[in-house]
Chain A
C-alpha cells in the first residue's frame, strides 16, 4: 500500500471483491422482492428490504464507492421495478426525494462507521507492534546493562587495586569474561531477529542434516558448560530438514542455555530429533527445577517482567532468548511448545519437512 494515495482513491477504492459482494447483496434484495411483489399487491416492503441491502453493502465493502452506488441503484430499483407504476421511473410520486435521501444517508453513515472501525483496528495493531518493540528494547537494555555494570566494576577493581592477589584478579577477570560472553549471546539473538526481518517474512531455507546442526550446537554448548552432561539422539536414517541452519542452531543454543541457566540445578540435558507426521520434532529436556507454573502462559511473548519473577534481583531474562526462538521457528512455518516433565522442563519445536512454497 502506498501511503501517498490521493484522497479520492482512499475514499472510493475499487476492488473486484467488493464489486462481487455488492452485486450479490443487491441481487438477494431483488430476489426477495420479486416473489413478494407477485404475492402481495402493496408495495410497502420494497423500501425496507433495499435499505437493509444498502446498509449491508456499505458495511461489507471498503470505502464509500459501493455504498453510494448501491443507494442509487436501490432507489432506482424501488422506484422503477417495485413501485406502481411498474417499470416506469416516477420521481413525482410524493415522498421519493425523501426515500432517496434516506438511502444516501444510510449508505454514507454506515460507510463512515465501517471505515472508522477499520482504521482504529489498524491503529490498535500498530500500537501492539510498537508495544512489543518497546518491550523488547526494555528487555534487551536490561540484559545489556547488568553484565556491563559487572564488567566495568570488575575491571576497575583489578586496575585500581594493585594489591589484589593473582587468584583474586583471576576471579574478577573470569567474571568479566563470563559477562562478556553473555553479552555476545544477547547480541547474537538480536542479529537473528534482524535476519528474520520486520514482519517475520519468509526466510530462505535449504535442506540441512538435522544431526549436523544439533551436533554443532551441542559441541559449542559443552565448551561453555563442561559440567552438564548432554546426550544427543538422532534417528538411524539421516533426517534432512529445510531450514536456515544458522538460525536453527541459534534456537538450539538458546534452549540449551535456558536449560542450563534457568533449570538452576540442571545436570543432564537430552537433545533429540525425530520425524513425526511431516514434521521434524526437536526436543530439549533437562532435569532442572522446571518452569514456574505462572510463567508458562507468557513464556514466549518476551514480556516476562523482572519484578514478577521469583528472584527479581539480577535474574537473567529468558524472555528475549525464547521469543527469538519462537520468531525463528514461526518464520520456518513451525510451532513451539514448553512443558514440565516429572523432573525438569521440556522445550520442543517442530519444523515442516516439506519445503514451504
Chain B
C-alpha cells in the first residue's frame, strides 16, 4: 500500500471545496478541507500536508497573506485558485512563491495535472529529476541538453542563440509550471532588467519558429495570456 499524499484544500465555497476533494480522494490523494484562513494556518502546522490548493478569495483574510506567511518558513507547494481576468493576482501569487495556479472554472483534468506537477517538483529539490540524473530534459520530440547547451527536435540541433537557449533551459527546469514574464526576465538578464517584456516576446517567437511546427499552434511552449510561459511536461 502506498502512502497517499495529503492535500489541503483552502476554499470557502462549500460546493467547490467538495468537488475538489472528491476528485482528489478518488485519484490517490487524501484531501482535507479548510474554510477560512485561520483554520487553514492551524491545519498546515498540525497536519503537514504535501500540497496546498489555495483560493485567493477567502472571507477572513487575503489568500496572498496566507501565502506570504507560509513562505516565511515553508516551501510547501501551493497551487492558487483564482477567477479569470485577475491576471495581476495570479502574477502576484506566483511571484510570492506559489507554484502554479488554476483559473476558475477548471476541469478535473487540469486540477489533477497541476497537482501532479506541483508535487513532482517538490520531490526533486531543485527542479527536474531527469535533468539532475541525465543532464537532459525530454518531452515529445523535444530534448534540452543541459551539458551541450543545445535544444534538439527529433535528434537534430535547432541552433538556438545563447539567450534563446537560456529561456528554454529555464522553462525546462520548471517544466509544467508557469513562469511569469518578470521571473524569466530577472533570471536571464538580472534583477535590474526593466519590466519591458518585448525582448522576451521576440526571443520566444524565434524559439517557437525553430522548435514548433507552427508558432501559433505550439505543442511545447505555451503562453499563459497576461501571465507568462509554460513548457509542456506531458506530450
Contact = CB atoms under 8 A, between A and B. Distances in A.
Contacts of A249: 225
Contacts of A180: 105
A124 interface: no
B16 interface: no
Interface in A197-235: 207-209, 211-216, 218-219, 232-234
B198 A207 contact: yes
Contacts, number: 66
B61 interface: no
Identify whether the interface residues of A are mostly helix, strand, loop, or mixed. helix
A10 B223 CA distance: 54
A172 to B, nearest CB: 17
Interface in B218-233: 218, 222-226
Interface residues of B, number: 22
Interface stretch (B3-11, B63-71, B199-207): B199-207
A216 B215 contact: no
A215 B198 contact: no
A181 B214 CA distance: 29
Identify whether the interface residues of B are mostly helix, strand, loop, or mixed. mixed
Contact of B215 (A188, A234, A245, A246): A234
Contact of A211 (B87, B205, B224): B205
Contacts of A304: none
A238 interface: yes
Interface string A263-293: 0000000010000000000000000000000
B216 A232 contact: yes
A232 B214 contact: yes
A218 B216 contact: yes
A248 B169 CA distance: 30
Contacts of A191: 84-85
B72 interface: no
Given A215-B223, A236-B209, A246-B226, 17 more contacts: A180-B105, A184-B105, A207-B201, A211-B205, A211-B208, A212-B225, A213-B223, A214-B216, A215-B215, A215-B222, A219-B217, A219-B218, A233-B216, A238-B205, A245-B226, A246-B85, A271-B216
14 contacts: A184-B105, A188-B85, A195-B85, A207-B198, A208-B201, A209-B201, A209-B205, A209-B223, A212-B216, A215-B215, A234-B214, A238-B205, A238-B206, A271-B216
